[in-house]
Amino acid sequence: MPFTLLFDLDDTLLDTNIETFIPAYFQALSGHLAPYVSSTLLIPALLSSTRLMMENDDPSRPLRDVFERDFYARLGIVKNEIAEALDEFYDRVFPRLESKTGRRPDAAPLIEWVISQGHHVAIATDPLFPLKATHQRLRWAGLDPAQFELVSSFENFHFSKSHTAYYAEMLGQLGWNDGAVLMIGNDVERDLIPAHRLGLRTYFVDGDPASSPGFEAGRGNLKDIRPWLESLEASAFEPSFQSPEAVQAILRSTPAVLQTLTASLKREKWSVEPFGEDWALNEIVCHLRDTEREIHHLQLRLLFQREDAFIPRPDTAVWASERDYLQVDGWTALQEFTAARLETVSQLANLDGSLWSRKARHAIFGPTSFLEVLGFMADHDRMHIQQVKKTLKNLQGERV
């Protein structure tokens, strides 16, 4: 079974001296936008809006929206006034910053090899840049953006890499592939620790032993990764999503994943049933919405109320036909699911740690605990995102 390999970009696949690159980037951008806005306004606005992206934990708000709402308000202009100039900057000026970076000779051969082995490969870079800027940086590294199943950017992500939910969002957009997962990066705080909190194994690139977090599965340079991967037993790298941090990250990420996966879907495609008994997208989303409202919220109330609560699990199999989900607007149902899920995650955000071990009795699984019941909810999310990916794949070939 193939690995799912998540690669950091800066100082992993591409030498990027951030202390040199970022000032050069700011200088180039402020110079290009000088006819529209002064650098004394632009730079503080960039810093403020980037900080808000890094802090965002709202799965209903893509990072681009977080950035732009703050950025243009601080500049006192509307987006359309400089949209064309920004596009021109990333198309013509940003590529000149390649000289501030360095190509790693082992990066392209490693990526070519892991793809040739059938592994799922994604670029897990902090999604604080537009996609076209990240594609440029991949080319500077000698890589083709089309090689990768997913490249994170501020258009298609809701969380930065400081959040464990970023890694859940990454795996969700990939379709929650079964099997081994490995995060490969050089930054302990943003690559290794949040991925580890989700339950992923990690590889520390060029890591100083003195800064080792102690849990990484491997450590070395890019050239070391191929023989190391070839020596592994993949089953040992299958993640466990059973910690409170992992469960909360998955639950928080699911609305974000669904919004991104369906963002370009035409309304009439939501009700298409691809094959046989496969569910249409609006049936899946309506099921998630009603399960969240009527089952998960009830289960949480019971778990909060007392020790050893009995946790019911009603049969939802008949809901799709009884409630005529095919006739419901799928996009509206997704917004309603998101609102219900935000209520769930807000209840868990500041939970007393002792509650996670509270005992309960589940109608189907018998003796259980608060954490295990929440784990069932996260597993339910993952299963239906896999179903969504399958449905979208089956719709390919049409204009979805």
In sequence order, which residues have a C-beta less than 8 Å from that of residue 34 and are 6 or more positions away?
none
Q: Which two tokens stand for residue 319?
A: 């809901």
Residue bearing tokens 């490249």:
151
Q: 341: part of which helix (H) or strand (E)? A: helix 330-348
What is the C-alpha separation between 199 and 212, in angstroms, rounded?
A: 17
Environment class of 308 (CB within 10 Å of its CB; exposed 0-12, middle 13-18, buried 19+)? exposed
The 10s digit of each residue's pLDDT in 288-316 is: 999 999 999 999 999 999 999 999 988 88
Say how many C-beta atoms besides its own lie within 10 A of residue 4's C-beta.
Answer: 25
Closest by CA position to 153, among listed 64, 79, 92, 43: 64
pLDDT of residue 90: 96
User: What is residue 399's predicted lDDT score, i.e. its pLDDT?
Assistant: 43
Structure tokens, 255: 């609305």
- Residues 261 and 330: their CA atoms lie apart, in Å, by 13
Strand partners, 181: 4
- Cα–Cα distance measured from residue 11 to residue 187, given in angstroms and rounded to the nearest whole number: 9
User: Cα(143)–Cα(112) distance, rounded to whole angstroms?
Assistant: 9
Q: What is the pLDDT of residue 143?
A: 98
Lookup: tokens for 92: 């013509």
Could you write out the DSSP letters of every residue in 311-328? E-----TTHHHHTTGGGS
Q: The tokens 């496969």 sit on which residue?
A: 278
CB 308 within 8 A of CB 215: no
The pLDDT assigned to 400 comes to 41
The ranges of the chain with pLDDT < 50 are 399-400
- 1 contacts 179 by C-beta, under 8 angstroms: yes
Query: Do residues 380 and 291 lie in contact, with contact meaning Cβ atoms separated by under 8 Å?
Result: yes
Q: Nearest-CA neighbor of 330 among 392, 380, 244, 382?
A: 392
Residues in CB range of 331: below 8 A, 6 or more apart: 262, 267, 270
Angle at 125 between CA 23 and CA 205, to 5 degrees: 95
**Residues 60-98, buried b or exposed e (16+ Cβ, 10 A)?**
ebbbbbbbeebbbebbeeeeeebeeeeeebbeeebeebe
